[in-house]
Structure 1
Amino acid sequence: MYKAHREAHKTESVGWLRAAVLGANDGIISVASLVVGVAASGASQKNILLAGVAGLVAGAMSMAAGEYVSVQSQADTESADIERERRELREQPENELAELTAIYVGRGLDQSLAQQVAEQLMSGDALLAHARDELGITETLRARPVQAAFASAISFTVGAVVPIVVVVLAPAGRVIAISSVTALFTLAGLGATAAYVGGAPAGKGAIRVAFWGALAMGLTAGIGKLFGTVV
């Protein structure tokens, strides 16, 4: 008896991994930069911690809200497209059969076989067949706004906790140095992990993420120093 062979591909983990790493990177870069900038202005450790916690809460909520609005818009579009397909299947089944047949012809089947495949699939769940092959919508890839919002907020928070912990534990006079080094090492680790799991060179992933983190912290430190001097 034939048994289907299930292959594991790197692309299967790229979607969720990308979202998780992006959220954590945002948390680390945003809050570490904020902490470094406020520390460079000469603020007390208590005020640095307060700014960091405020940045964590504001950033997590901003990530959640932005992700929800974006994914909800996608979900609305998907729902509208599926509803239109449902109506067209009810009112113009012949046209929909021709559309599905043309899709399979475009993928390499001859006209006769493509029509047989289309007829077979439409005799079962026609809407599912059109959603998958005409619209590119599957249950696995359906937009889930609430899930996306929670995932973004949680991943941002996990990343932002790193610089917060550093502020709590670091000596008052070394917050900038320890926060910067810790953030860069964490960012490099995340970048390397994401690249490795995705099948890309880990070193390039680490350097790319660490570079942008260093740039962000350097700029905010300069601004904090400037405003601290002026004030």
Structure 2
Amino acid sequence: MRLSLAAACLAALAFAAPAHAASLSGMGANLFGNYFHFGSKPNIPKPPVRTITAGPLKMELQHTKLAQIRKLFGGAIMSTGTDKSLANWLCYHTDGSGKAPAANTWFISNILGGGEFVMIVAVQAADPERIPGDCIAAPRNFALPDMGIPGLGASSADLKAAFGAASGSNIAYRADVPGADALGTALNAQYIGYILSGGRVTGYGAGETSVPAPPKQ
């Protein structure tokens, strides 16, 4: 789902007002903000994240609504910011007592998603006894997202095998594909970010957005 800025603004205004809460934290804030400095050029050949599953949920970035996720897992859609800084999200905390390890998972929409279409999914290892103010306890049917890429606990070797390169504790990947614009004036960019500690992934996520195409030479 790719909206023009004007259409996104209208969609955001039409969307039912979500609950205001603490600002995004952790990996949710990292993917929503500029923590990873993804750069202006792609460094992987194609977007690796397609269908994302989380228990009974099957979704795609830019196509699945927060309301659909709320229907499956409950909770109130939280919100912070306005206009270009708008973030609407659902976040679920697993405490490690079930099949899922202790982690926080964010599903985030921004202004380009009209405040309702999920543009970012982020996961971060967590303290099992501490639920951040921007998350709620996950229901029994929730499972950590499977994005089809290395996840929590993966090594830098796993990232290198998947993406062809991996260096440092803050790793960013970007892939661009032609957007839906028939004139070729837009690209769809997929961003993937990883945080490693002790050589293992402790946080990661993926997001998509439309960006201007580079000028023709």
Per the shorter chain, which TM-score range? under 0.3
Larger radius of gyration: 1
How high is the TM-score relative to the length of structure 1? 0.21
Higher relative contact order (CA 8 A, sep 6+): 1
TM-score, L = length of structure 2? 0.22
More helix as a share of residues: 1
